Amino acid sequence: MKLINNLIIQIIPFLPKFFVKIVASPYIAGITDEEMLKNVQKLNNKGFKVAIDILGEHVETEKEADEITQRYISIYDEISKETYLQIFP
């Protein structure tokens, strides 16, 4: 399985973006925070639990890290307004 995973990792950069988006879309709740929260609510209403993560592998500066942190704070603020979502530490 590790060999297959490594092969996939190596070829992904050469695949057309639309193909990667099709394959990844079932695992991504949204591109924007608003879209993500809306889709999380739909999944919660169907009885699914979800984890929210803003991928930060691209962060290279303290400013970018602060921006990601502010996005998380904003998302948590929105979550706290809704009763359909729970935050687990």
Place of tokens 């921006």: 67
Residue 19: Cβ within 10 Å count: 10
- The lowest-confidence range among 18-22, 47-51, 70-74 is 18-22
Taking residues 17-37, what's their average pLDDT?
84
Predicted confidence at residue 23, as pLDDT, reads: 80
Share of the chain above pLDDT 70, in %: 89
pTM: 0.61
Summarised one tens digit per residue, pLDDT across range 60-70 is 899 998 998 89
CA-to-CA distance for 48 and 84, rounded, in angstroms? 11
